[in-house]
A and B are shown apart, each in its own frame.
Chain A
Amino acid sequence: MNSMERIFAAVQCHDLDRIPFILNLTHHGAKILNLSIKEYYSKSEYMIEGQKRLWKQYRDDAVIGISYFAAEFKAWGGKIKFFSDGPPNSMRPILSNPNSIISIEPPQIDEIPEFIETLKTIKGLHEYFGDSVPVVGGILSPFSFPIMRMGFNKYIELLYQDLSTFEDLMKKNIKYAIDWANRQIEAGATMIIYFDPMSSPFIIPKSKFIETGYQIAKEILPKIKAPIVYHFASSRCQEVLPELLQLPISGVGISKQDKIKESLKIVDKKVALVGNLSGIHLVHATPAQVIKELKALMSLISPGKGFIVSDHHGEIPYFVSDEILSTISHFFHHSAKYPLN
């Protein structure tokens, strides 16, 4: 099986040769090319080359076509800050008044340099890997995006105080998000990760999710023309898994805080689960500790259908060493073959 076949078998909960794993390596491309993170993200050529080299080194089951989510914040008028050893971060929220945010028109995808480079990266990776390795695309859910644009506190207040304004805000966000996802698919993205941490029961109660984020997802997801993984960016989601099963998705990214056996039971092979290694733990772990953790994970997911091992945040920290990444890769290529022992 190649990686494409393996990932699709996993999301369809079919038999496969070994447990698939995706390392979610993004800015590690800068490290392998000996570039700064800012420089690396400035050109699609760098990102394509970085992903190719990372894949050759670790042979995981996908390459990452997207760059960083703060680029979306920048596209809507925000300022971002680059770091030497972590993802770029959004700076101060643009506007605290939701009515002002509503008056802002969404960015034109073809006019945003960061989006153009992302689309070129996806296209380049798709041309290179063809049908052998999935190219991962992704969008920040319109429901979660206002965290950056308004600030977390103002957005929470809006959700509890003014649902009418919230709905107006979502209308523009929704159209933009669907366009952005489908443009990535047209460029060659195999799947779209729908990052929606705001919908986690860690952030809002389930009742509020059903009233808000869930309705947004129900509107958007059917219009995205590729398989979708619903992702909570390391926040827990077990409590809302029954609701997620009603959505047109192929997988759910689960957190370290979620219980694997219970989660597998809830989804009952209707969708795949993706997770749930903690990247932060990997920063300080020894190879022996990582192998121990992977073995424990194998025992929980056995017999293993419908599970893709991955970092639970959607991006593995820059501080995770080559030694640890190589340990994970070696484990899956040698110790995660079927039948699992």
Chain B
Amino acid sequence: MKEKLEEALIEVNYQNVHDIFQKMLSQNFTLPKILGIIRTVMESIGKKWEQERIALSQVYMAGKLIEMEIELHLKNSKNNDTIRNQKWNKKVYTCVYEDYHALGLLILNSTLRMAGFQVINLGIGLTEEELCNYVSSKQITLLLISTLMLASAKHLKNTIQSLRKINPNIKIFVGGAPFNLQTDLWERIGADGSGMSPYSIIPILDQHFQTIQSSQASTSEGL
């Protein structure tokens, strides 16, 4: 099933993807099992992209097709509550800084949602002032920022300093073409990390939330 779904997604074959979902449902696959298959398949697709075996358009369309099927088959069923309640304690804010090209953000958001994170999309073309307002008003502690242009990536240095003045504990991860082309750029601008692809950021975020959980558990024990 996993191999067939992956193949259909990479071929962007709507009908085959749809048929595979129908088959899973007709065979009474549980929701956790379906979501597990989706996560495994999407991780595999992400790895293939990192290895340059498939193209960005295929990655985007794979996420798009999966989300369409989830919308179609699962959201209006009894599974809806399960989806809604899934790991929603993992809240992640995302945005595009200064630029208006949203593809990277859309792939990131889709990938994170499928990995069980609650994604709050702050939008595209955000300025330093807008980001500072968001971090302040929404008490953001984890922010993922995407950029396309080198100039925007460099401008982020000052913006990150401003954001840390508002919340010294905020974790900021950055991504996009400039960071892929120069792999130490995220350090130069003072971010907490970067990922070559949306998939590579997931273990970093998992680690982040595990650290928070451990810290909260220690505090509880202390009390």
A339 to B190: give the CA distance in the assembly, Å.
Answer: 46
Pick out which of these stretches binds chain A: B16-24, B35-43, B101-109, B114-122: B101-109
Please judge, given known A-B contacts A204-B55, A280-B182, A317-B150, whether A89 and B61 are in contact too, CB under 8 Å: no
Q: How far is the CA of A318 from the CA of B150 in the complex (A)?
A: 9
Q: Closest Cβ of chain A: how far from B148's Cβ, in Å?
A: 8
Q: Which of the residues B102, B150, B154, B182 comes within 8 Å of A153, measured between beta carbons?
A: B102
Find out whether the CB atom of A160 lies under 8 angstroms from the CB atom of B181. Answer: no
B61 and A157: CB pair below 8 A? yes
A201: contacting residue among B55, B149, B178, CB under 8 A: B55
Residues in B neighbouring A203, C-beta threshold 8 A:
55-57
**A152 at the B interface (CB under 8 A):** yes
Q: In which size bucket is the chain B interface?
A: 20 to 34
A159 at the interface (CB under 8 A from B): yes
- Alpha-carbon separation in the docked complex, A279 to B149 (Å): 12
Residues of A within 8 A of B57 (CB): 156, 159-160, 203-205, 208
| Residues of B39-71 whose CB lies within 8 A of A | 52, 54-58, 60-61, 64
A52-B125 Cα distance, complex, nearest whole Å:
35
Asked whether, in the complex, the Cβ of B181 is within 8 Å of the Cβ of A281, the reply is yes
Q: Output the least CB separation between A108 and chain B (Å).
A: 26
- List of B residues within 8 angstroms of A283 by Cβ: 150, 182
- Interface residues on chain A, number (Cβ under 8 Å): 37
A156-B57, A203-B55, A205-B57 are contacts. A89–B99 as well, Cβ < 8 Å? yes
Tell me, in angstroms, the Cα distance from A288 to B182 when the chains sit together. Answer: 18
Given that A91-B125, A205-B54 are contacting pairs, would A152 and B149 also be in contact in the complex, using a CB cutoff of 8 Å? no
Interface presence of A225 (CB below 8 A)? no
User: Roughly how many angstroms separate A234 CA and B64 CA in the complex, as a whole number?
Assistant: 26
Main DSSP-derived SS at the B contact region = helix
CB of A86 within 8 Å of the partner chain = yes
Do A85 and B182 have beta carbons less than 8 Å apart? Answer: no
Contact string, B75-116, partner A, CB cutoff 8 A, digits 1/0?
A: 000000000000000000000001111110010000000000
Closest chain B residue, CB of each to CB of A83: B151
List residues of chain B with CB within 8 A of the CB of A204: 55-57
- Residues in B whose Cβ lies below 8 Å from that of A234: 177, 181
| Distance between Cα atoms of A205 and B11 in the complex (Å) | 10
- B149 touches which one: A87, A257, A284 (CB < 8 A)? A87
- Looking at B58, B99, B101, B154, which has the most chain A CB atoms within 10 Å of its CB? B101
Q: Is the Cβ of B151 less than 8 Å from the Cβ of A91?
A: no
Interface positions of B from 145 to 177, Cβ below 8 Å from A: 149-152, 154, 177
Q: Is B135's beta carbon under 8 Å from chain A?
A: no
**Cα–Cα, bound, A205→B188 (Å):** 34
Say whether, besides A92-B100, A202-B55, A280 and B178 are in contact (CB < 8 Å): yes
* Nearest-Cβ distance from residue B213 to partner chain A, whole angstroms: 34
Question: What residues on A are CB-neighbors of B151 within 8 Å?
Answer: 83, 85-87, 317-319
> Quick check: A92 and B125 within 8 Å, CB to CB?
yes
Contact residue among A85, A151, A160, A256 (Cβ-Cβ distance under 8 Å from B102): A151
Contacts A201-B55, A278-B181; is A319 near B150 (CB within 8 Å)? yes
Q: Mark A262-278, 1 if CB is under 8 A from B, else 0.
A: 00000000000000001
The 3 closest A-B pairs by CB, nearest first: A86-B151, A152-B103, A280-B181
